[in-house]
Amino acid sequence: MELKKRKILFLDRDGTICYDDGAFGSEKFSYKEVIEKTRPLEGVKESLKIAKDKGYLLVVISNQAGIAKGRFDECDTHYSNKLLQEKLGGIIDGFYYCPHHTSGKNNSGVIADNAKRDLIFHCDCRKPEIGMFLQCENDLRNGKLQYIDEELIANKTTYENDRTKIFRKDVEPATVDKENSYMIGDKWLDILAGERYGVNPIFVMSGEGSVEYNHKKDKQKELPTKYEIFNDINEFIKERL
């Protein structure tokens, strides 16, 4: 039986659908406090509902290098996603994240003593690579989507780099309708990843977007060739979908 095609909004997380309180000066404060303050940007809950009503699956695709750098644990990422999901009324269908980092270095150019060195390498999932998209595509074909792991949160544990243990929830099997799907983010690596995967890249000026845009030649050696720009995800959904 031929699988149904599904339109997907692939969503960067911090700075795109929720406040990025850890974006600047991130070594000067507790990430535990940042996580407790997880909350969606103004209007995002209502905008995402519009997209959902138009038949889109909503899937978060997020780099979480703080795990590799030892700033927070994998269970904290799930807890933060849980807080965000609760404040969005449970509207997100899937949460994918990359716990790796290529160097593990902080803004001062050093690797912290508590960094998780087994997660420091050049992986195929950290954006602008497309591993998270491919994993989502494969999961969806098999009637699954990666989701919040309540057991991981309760036990305050990690997957210990065994990605086969990641919790996935059941969904209707489908394929990705790339022509009518989008990747939305506030960084060039988000947009480049979307272009590489073959969906429509949308750059938003929220979060770090304005800084990224004004320093695009310095921020990213390779830039996407085609993308659209909006002030934020609310404007994109209301004007483009």
**Catalytically annotated residue among 12, 21, 186, 190:** 12
**Catalytically annotated residue among 14, 21, 73, 232:** 14
- Check if 186 is active-site: no
Residue located via tokens 């001062």: 108
Residue 53 CB partners (closer than 8 Å, separation 6+): none
Query: What's the chain's length in residues?
Result: 241
Taking Cα atoms as reference points, which of 173, 156, 69 lies closest to residue 116?
Answer: 69
- Check if 12 is active-site: yes
Torsion of CA 30, 159, 12, 47, to 10 degrees: -90
CA distance 29 to 8: 35
Q: Which residues pair with 4 in a beta bridge?
A: 174
Q: Which residues are catalytic?
A: 12, 14
